[in-house]
């Protein structure tokens, strides 16, 4: 019973409720309150304290929370604004070895306005991309998951070498789709819904616990010493 309730709750707030190619009458941006990535060009405009209006600033605009690494931007979620949707989605993990390798499967959906039997509807289009074996030897890599006339969806992979034994891998999915007005129908059609990132490590790569070096790390290491990664 509990599992069923959790499943229904996820469908309600995250979606999709009616399958991979669902059709809904309401705007998905209002129907689903989580699991949405808006284009990274959209920025908040503070016209008043209750404003939820965003604006497209163009591809050359950088906010204070954006990091430039090897000529492309890696957004970080430091805009502490509960009303602003995220512009990227990702996962990080620690591996042993200097040259980690893995494959990545990324899935997501987009909604387009269409004509249904009983009037206008929003139709979901599912997408996926499975990479070949990736060997991370340099600090940063970039892959295009989607590239068409309406823009790009990028996958950014960063390696942070801690020492000769451990590396931290950061994988980010970034919405680089084109948009002029960041509100209404245009924002819904340029947003990414229900993104997921799955990673399969190579045979020569092992997942590892995060090396502790901060105060209190020894206590956490002791508490979780028998917990599998």
- Reported as a single tens digit per residue, the pLDDT across 105-130 is 999 999 999 988 878 999 999 999 99
**Is residue 137 very low, low, confident or very high in pLDDT (cuts 50, 70, 90)?**
confident
Q: Residues 6 or more apart from 227 whose CB is under 8 A from it?
A: none
Give CA–CA dist 129/107, Å, rounded. Answer: 7
Q: Is residue 42 within 8 Å of residue 87, measured between CB atoms? A: yes
Residue 65 scores a pLDDT above 70:
no
Q: Residues 6 or more apart from 56 whose CB is under 8 A from it?
A: 39, 41, 42, 43, 179, 180, 181, 182
**Is residue 59 very low, low, confident or very high in pLDDT (cuts 50, 70, 90)?**
very low
**Is residue 139 very low, low, confident or very high in pLDDT (cuts 50, 70, 90)?**
confident
Q: What is the pLDDT of residue 23?
A: 95
CA dihedral 207, 168, 220, 173 (to 10 degrees): -90
Helix, strand or coil, per DSSP, at residue 95: strand
What pTM does this model have? Answer: 0.78
Extract the tokens encoding 197: 């990132």
Residue 191 scores a pLDDT above 50:
yes
């Amino acid at each position: 019973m509990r599992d069923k309730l959790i499943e229904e709750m996820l469908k309600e707030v995250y979606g999709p409720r009616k399958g991979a190619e669902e059709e809904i009458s309401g705007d998905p941006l209002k129907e689903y309150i989580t699991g949405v990535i808006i284009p990274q060009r959209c920025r908040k405009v503070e016209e008043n304290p209750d404003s939820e209006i965003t604006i497209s600033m163009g591809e050359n605009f950088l906010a204070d929370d954006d990091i430039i690494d090897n000529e492309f931007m890696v957004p970080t979620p430091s805009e502490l604004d509960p009303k602003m949707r995220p512009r990227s989605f990702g996962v990080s993990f620690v591996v042993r070895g200097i040259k980690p390798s893995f494959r990545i499967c990324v899935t997501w959906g987009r909604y387009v306005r269409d004509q249904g039997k009983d009037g206008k509807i929003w139709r979901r289009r599912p997408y996926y991309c499975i990479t070949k074996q990736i060997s991370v030897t340099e600090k940063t890599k970039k892959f295009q998951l989607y590239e068409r006339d309406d823009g790009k969806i990028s996958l950014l992979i960063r390696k942070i070498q801690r020492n000769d034994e451990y590396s931290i891998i950061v994988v980010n999915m970034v919405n680089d789709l084109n948009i002029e007005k960041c509100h209404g129908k245009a924002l819904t059609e340029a947003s990414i819904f229900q993104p997921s990132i799955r990673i399969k490590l190579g045979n020569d790569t092992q997942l590892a616990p995060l090396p502790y070096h901060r105060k209190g790390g020894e206590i956490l290491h002791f508490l979780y010493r028998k917990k599998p990664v």
